[in-house]
Structure 1
Amino acid sequence: MVRRYPCVEVDLKKVTHNARKIMTLCNKNDIDVVGVTKVFCAELPVVQAVLNSGINMIGDSRILNLKKMEGLNCKKMLLRIPMKDQAYEVVKYSDISLNSELNVIGELSRVAKMLNTVHNIILMVDVGDLREGVLIKDVIDIVKEIIKFENIRLVGLGTNVTCYGGVIPDENNLGKLVKLRDKVMEIFDIDLPIISGGNSSSLYMAAGGTVPKGINQLRIGEGIVLGRETSFGHKISGCYSDAFVLKSEIIEIKDKPTVPVGKIGVDAFGEKPRFKDKGIRKRAIAAVGRQDIKLDGLSPLNKNIDIFGASSDHLILDITESEKPLKVGDVIVFNMDYGCILAAMTSPYVNKYYSA
C-alpha cells in the first residue's frame, strides 16, 4: 500500500497485546476493564483490536463515536456527562452512562420510557479532583431522587481523578467511594454492582495490589494505547509504548541561522517565541503542524533530530546531527504522547493506517 503523509500507523497486534496485559492485571484484582476508545476516535479497526483482547465493554465520550460502534457485539458506555438534548441518542447508543445531574437523568428516564427500555446509569462522585460528580455529602439525597425515576436503573457509583485536578487515586479517596456504596445499599436496600474507580491513573494501584476491595471497574484508555499508568507515567510491565507512531515527509532542507532576523513579535498563535543561538544549522521542514499534532507531545525516533518548533502546517526540525543523511522526500518517524495521539487521530489531514 502506498502511504500518504502525514500519517499515523497503528500496530493492532500491539494494541491487543496491551489491552490483554491490562485486562489480566486488573482481573487479578477482581476489576473489569472498560476499553476507552475516544483517543483514537473509535476507529473501528482499533476498537476491534481492543475487543480481541477479551475486553467486552468499551467507553467513549462522544455520541458520534458510539454511533460508529453501534454494530459491534459489546457493551457501550458514555463517558462524558450527557447533554440534556442528547437523551434520545444516549439511551439508543449506550448501555450505560455516567451522570451527575438530576434533570438530565429525568430526561433519560422519559426517553427510556418512550423507547420501552431501561437505561443504566452510574452516579459520578467527586472525591477531590473537581471535575464531574456530586459531592460526597450530597450523594444520599441525590440517590433518594434517582430511585424515583421510572426506566432508570442505578447500577453503581463512579469517580474520576487525575484528568483535571491531577489528584492521584489512592486507598483513601477510592476507599471513600467503597464506603459510600455500602452506605447507599444499606439505606435504600438496593444493589449497586459497579464501583468505577477511575482511569489509567489507578493502574499503579492495580500493579501494586493496593486497590481498595470493592473497586471493580476501571476505564482505561492511555494504558492500552501507550502501555503506561498515568499517575506517575511508569511503563506497565510487558506493554508496548509504540503501538501508535506518526510519520511525516520532509518537504524542505536548508542551512539557516537559528535566530530569526528582525524585530520579534508574536507568532501565529499569539505567543512571543524565544530562540537560542546555535549558529547555522541544517533545518528540515516536515509536512505536519499544530493543526494536526500537540507539539510538546512529539518526539523523533531518531534521537539525533531535535524539534525547533512548528506553525500550523510546518514542523521545523534540526537534522544537523543526524547520522543518516536526510533528503527531501524522506520520512521522519515520531513517538507521540496521549494528547498528541488524540490530536493526530482527530485531524482529518492526517492519514491513518492499520497493520494487523
Structure 2
Amino acid sequence: MAHIHINLSKIQYNANVLRQLLATHHIQFTPVIKCIAGDPEIIRALNQLGFTHFAEARLENIEKAKEVEAANTFTLIRAPHLQELKQVVLNTTMSIQTELTTIRQLNDVAKSLNLKHPIMLMVDWKNAREGVLTYDIVEYVQEILHLSHICLRSIAFNFMCFNEIPPSESDIEMINRFVTSVEKETSYRFGIFSGGNSSMLPQMMYNDLGRVNDLRIGESLFRGVDTTSNVPIPSLYQDAITLETRIIEIKPRIEVNSGRQYLQAIVDIGKLDTEVKDIYPLGHDVDVLGATSDHLMIDLKNHDQYQVGDTITFRLGYNALAQTMYINQMEKIYQNDKAIDLLNKHFNVCELNKARK
C-alpha cells in the first residue's frame, strides 16, 4: 500500500544544520510547517530540538500543533479573513497583515478580549502575492501605531512565492534601505526584520543581509534544496520525506503513435494522491509516463528485475509534498535512524556548550 515515509532523524538533522548556519549570520530560524499539514510527529521531533515557535498558514494546523505541546507558539503567515480574527488573537502570537481594514477590526477584536496582538507587516517586493505596496507603508505604520491593541512587531518580505524571481544582492541592499527609511520617517524601529524564506539562503551564504534578523524556512528544511535552483544543498538530506508506492501491474505495451515497445508498470497512486508532475523516482532508472485518478504509469525502460509488489520510491517536489501530506487517507510511516540520531545528539551538545560559554 502506498504511504508517505517520514524520516524524523533526517528532518531533525536538517533543522540542526539550518539553525547553526543561520546562527553564524546572527539570524533567527523560524521553521515554516505549512507543507506538513500540522503533522504531530514532525512537530514533536522539532520540539525535541528546542523549537517551540513556528510559522503556519492555517489556523486548523495551529490547533493540531498546540495539542502536541501547549507551549508551542505560532506566527500566522496567511492574512486571515474577518471571521477568523478571534481565533487569530487567541491562538497565535503574531500574524501577517496586509490590509488596514482587517488590522482595524483585529484591533477591535483584541480589545474585546482584553489582549494585545502583535502583527508582522508584509511588504510586496516584486513577488506580487500578498503585501502592502511600498508607497503605502508609512501611512500603514503611522495608523497602526495609534491602535490601542495592536503591536507592530515586525516588517517582512517574500520572494518566489508567486513570481519566481529570486532575491538578488540589489534586493538585499534595497530592502535594508527601505526599512531604514520607513523607520526614520515614522520614528519607529522594527524588532523583527524578516527578510524572506528559503529562497534567501543562497544570498545569506555569499552576502551580508544587513539588518535582516529572521528568515522563515520551510521548503529547504523538509526538501533539502536550494529553492532558487531546485539543486540539493549538500549539507542537507533531500529524502527526509518520500512517497513509497507498490507495483500492482507489469505489462509490455506498445506506444500507439510511434509503435515503440516498452515495459510498463502501474503503481498504486494517482492524481488524487499527489501532484504527479512533481514526483521523481528515487534510486530507480524509470520514467513517469502519466497518471489517472488512481493509477500512475511508469516506463520500466525494459528493466526486467521488477515484480508485482515491488516498491518504487519517489522524491517529492514542494507541491507534491504539500498535497500528499494533506491527504488523510495516505498512511504515514515514521522512522528514526540511530546513526543520524547520534549526529543530532552531537549537534545538541555543541549548542549546549556554546550556551554555557
TM-score by length of 1: 0.89
Tell me if the contact between 1:23 and 1:55 (Cα under 8 Å) persists in the aligned partners: no
Distance 2:251 2:322 in 1: 31
How many residues are aligned here? 334
Residue of structure 1 equivalent to 2:46: 50
Structure with the higher helix share, 1 or 2: 2
Q: Verify the 8 A CA contact 1:156 1:181 in the aligned structure 2.
A: no
1:1-356 alignment to 2 at 5 Å? 5-71=1-67, 72=69, 73-208=71-206, 210-259=207-256, 277=258, 279-322=260-303, 325-356=305-336
Contact between 1:168 and 1:201, CA under 8 Å: does it hold in 2? yes
Indicate conservation of the 8 Å contact 2:127/2:163, yes or no. Answer: yes
CA distance in 2, matches of 1:301, 1:188: 53
Task: Tell me the alpha carbon deviations over residues 26-74 of structure 1, each in whole angstroms, 9 at most, x when there is no partner.
Answer: 1111111110111110101112223334434211111110111124223
* Unmatched 5+ stretches in structure 1: 260-274
Tell me if the contact between 1:14 and 1:243 (Cα under 8 Å) persists in the aligned partners.
Answer: yes
The runs of at least 4 aligned residues of structure 1 exceeding 3 Å deviation read: 51-56
Deviation per residue, 1:245-296 (Å, 9 max, x gap) = 111111112112122xxxxxxxxxxxxxxx6x36222211111001111112
**CA deviation vs aligned residue, 1:192-214 (integer Å, no higher than 9, x gap):** 11111111000111222x14210
Deviation for aligned residue 1:239: 0.7
Letter in 1 for 2:116: V
Letter in 1 for 2:43: V
Separation in 1, partners of 2:47, 2:24: 19
* Equivalent AA in structure 1 for residue 250 of structure 2: I
**Which residue type is aligned with residue 223 of structure 2?**
L
Secondary structure, counterpart of 1:134 in structure 2: coil
What SS does the corresponding residue of 2:231 show, helix, strand or coil?
Answer: coil
Instruction: Report Cα offsets for 1:152-196 as digits up to 9, x if no partner.
Output: 000121011111011211232233332233233333333311111
**Which amino acid in structure 2 is aligned with residue 326 of structure 1?**
Y
CA drift of 1:75 comes to 2.5
Tell me, in whole angstroms, the C-alpha distance in 1 between the residues paired with 2:300 and 2:81.
48
Task: Give the letter for the 2:307 counterpart.
Answer: K
Q: Which residue of 2 aligns with 1:265?
A: none
Q: d(CA) in 2 for partners of 1:69 and 1:335?
A: 25
Q: CA 1:84–1:20 in 2, change beyond 3 Å: closer, same or farther?
A: same
* Identity within the alignment, %: 30
Aligned residue in 1 for 2:348 = none
1:127-173 Cα distance to aligned partner (Å, 9 max, x none): 11111111111110111111121210001210111110112112322
d(CA) in 2 for partners of 1:162, 1:68: 28
TM-score, normalisation: structure 2:
0.89
Aligned in 2, Cα 1:47/1:201: closer, same or farther, shift over 3 Å?
Answer: same
For 1:353, what is the secondary structure of its paired residue? strand
Deviation at 1:244, TM superposition (A): 0.7
Q: Confirm or deny: 8 A CA contact 1:33 1:57 kept in the other structure.
A: no
Name the structure 1 match of 2:341. Answer: none
- Contact kept, 8 Å, 1:202 with 1:229, in 2: the verdict is no
- Is the CA contact 1:6–1:247 (under 8 Å) kept in the aligned structure 2? yes
Residue 22 (structure 1) shift: 0.8
- On the 8 A contact 1:248/1:288 being kept in 2, the answer is yes
Q: Hey, what's the Cα distance between the residues in 1 that align with 2:14 and 2:259?
A: 41
Alpha-carbon distance, 1:320 to partner: 4.1
Contact kept? 2:138, 2:186, Cα under 8 Å: no
What one-letter code is carried by the residue in structure 2 that aligns with 1:338?
Answer: Y
Q: 1:176 to 1:54 in 2, by over 3 A?
A: farther
Measured at CA, do residues 202 and 107 of structure 1 come closer, stay the same or move farther in structure 2, by a change above 3 Å? same
